[in-house]
Amino acid sequence: MLRPPGTARRGGLTLTQTPEQRTYYRPGEAFRELLRERARGPASVGPLAPEVCERAMCEILSGGATPAQAAGFLLVGRAAGDSPEELAAYTRALRGFVRELPADRPTVSVAGGFDGKLRTANIGAAASMVAAAAGARVVMVGGEGISPKEGRTGFDALKNLGIPAPQTLAEAAGSLGRHGLAATSPEHYLPALHALTPLRWEMTRRTVLNVVEKLVSPVTGASLMVGVTHASSMKGVPEALLELGTPPALVYQAVEGSDEAALDGTSALVLLRDGELEPFRVEPESLGLGRATRSELPPPQEKEEACVLEAVLAGEPGPVADLIIYNAALRLWMSEGAIGELRDLVERAREAVRSGRAAEHLQGLRAAGQGVSDAPAD
């Protein structure tokens, strides 16, 4: 192999020789300083300055860190824990790599765990469909094959209903404008993050990436709905969004950390609006809904899930229907800036099902996925 004069390979390093100097170049050399800052001794591992976090994430996303360096930084960060300020800094870095999905109306971006669910069916896709049928603009964001679970996602639920997912940005823009519903993934709107998928499998553990990927939307200015798993996230995630100065956002403890707010009377929610955080809980009976416990959700089996969701969209009542209507109402609420009474939006969602509009919406989305022309949604 020919090399430029004055260079040689020794032990995986490139030796550059000039008349004035001889220096070694190591891949990832610039990242070593950041890794030293992160991976200090046990007694001194703690929060990093936000500017260090942002710079490190930018380097990781742009390929400035080797896989070993990126994994080391992220895993030590998992052990140390991430403050709201750190989460905000990492999110700012991710947002700088986003490819935009245009939207001409107020939109809500909905995200849960990108690694999916293992124990219960996905109802978030049906809730998004009902909300769109009731007049909302909803973008579902998520991943496929994400560590550590690689569970079944909302995209799987859409595909089981005959709707292709995830969509490219061009497909998502068309679907959002015509049907009020789009579903896309980092492969299309954040390819720098998508490129880290193999590394995330090698690390085997969740890292800060599993949190901040949910705080990024391809739609600029969209309201956010963020489902989280653990009670500890109900403090850090809302405070990080507050630090970012984001549009209205709703953070909630979700079923298996998905995009589905629970309807059992115990789930905590935090609303971010006008620079204030408002924690609250919802009593299902106050909205005219019954309680839906996890045991009443169908198992994550493709045929059973699709049958249950399609039956609810066609008007079949029951706990799953109440859970879908509740989550549809939350999507409506957030798509309209968290203004108005949630009970009124429950009625709008219920009417979208009762009138048959939700079932018609499903047929329209199926037809569009098959390349069949259909009339725009109202």
Mean pLDDT by 10 residues, the chain (378 residues): 41 46 64 90 81 96 96 93 96 98 96 94 96 98 91 94 96 97 98 97 95 98 95 93 96 94 91 96 94 84 86 95 97 94 97 97 92 45
Tell whether omega for the bond before 166 is within 30 degrees of 0, i.e. cis: yes
Is 299 in contact with 292 (CB distance < 8 Å)?
no
- Helix (H) or strand (E) holding 352, with range, is helix 342-354
CA atoms lying within 13 Å on the CB side of residue 287: 28
From the options 3.90.1300.10, 3.40.1030.10, 3.30.70.1140, 3.90.1150.10, give the CATH code of 108-369: 3.40.1030.10
pLDDT value of position 8: 41
Kindly calculate the radius of gyration of the chain based on its CA atoms and give it in whole angstroms. 23
Q: Torsion angle of alpha carbons 307, 311, 316, 321, nearest 10°?
A: 80
For the chain, report the end-to-end CA distance as a whole number of angstroms.
Answer: 64
Residue linked to tokens 């939207």: 103
Ranges for all domains in the chain classified under CATH 3.40.1030.10: 108-369
In this prediction the pTM is: 0.89
Is 269 in contact with 280 (CB distance < 8 Å)?
yes
Angle formed at CA 52 by CA 48 and CA 56, multiple of 5 degrees: 115
pLDDT value of position 22: 47
